[in-house]
Chain A
């Protein structure tokens, strides 16, 4: 079975600080893509960052970066210089050969002033 585990149901961080969200996954596939999506209170699912499993270099997107450890099947997200607008539910997901996105249960991030 292919699963995604996000072990932190909720995390709180102050503005301008850094927070790291953990994600582990299990798949027997060798080729896959990993994603972090955010879901703010508006409920819209928004892509934060994407990582190809065959690339060793960690993806970055402005204040968002990942630490991808393929052997450990770990894919954590770091949010630097947190802003109030980062408050959202964050979902880790991966897609395998036939395109199915497997999601974790999510981590609620609350950014406080």
Chain B
């Protein structure tokens, strides 16, 4: 049981490049989330999903897109990376909206 995994662990992008971050969970959770963490701040919600095929915007969705084609996977895309998107990205999942969220190890992204 791996829990929540994230790929890649670290990535450097140039401004304008695109990339996709992959989150996978093997706990059969319905809810999945993408957060970003910046220095001196807690985590902020980017997008979330309440089930396969559904997505919704969180607190800071601009510049990101997501897809949940399979229940166990939640993808976060950056179409045209900007330096302001330099951050650590965390994926999380939970059984239901009231339940504890379990986090992946994070992806550190540097946009030059």
Contacts and interface: CB of A to CB of B under 8 A. Distances in A.
Interface of A: 4, 33, 35, 37, 42-47, 50, 91, 93, 95, 97-101, 103-106
14 contacts: A4-B42, A43-B88, A45-B106, A47-B100, A50-B100, A91-B43, A95-B97, A99-B31, A100-B58, A101-B33, A101-B101, A103-B42, A103-B43, A105-B42
Interface of B: 31, 33, 35, 40-45, 48, 50, 58-59, 88, 90, 92, 94, 96-98, 100-103, 105-106
Contact of A44 (B45, B50, B94, B106): B106
Contacts of B90: 45
Given A43-B88, A95-B98, A99-B31, A104 B42 contact: yes
Given A43-B105, A43-B106, A44-B105, A93 B42 contact: yes
A44 B43 contact: no
Contact of B41 (A42, A98, A105): A105
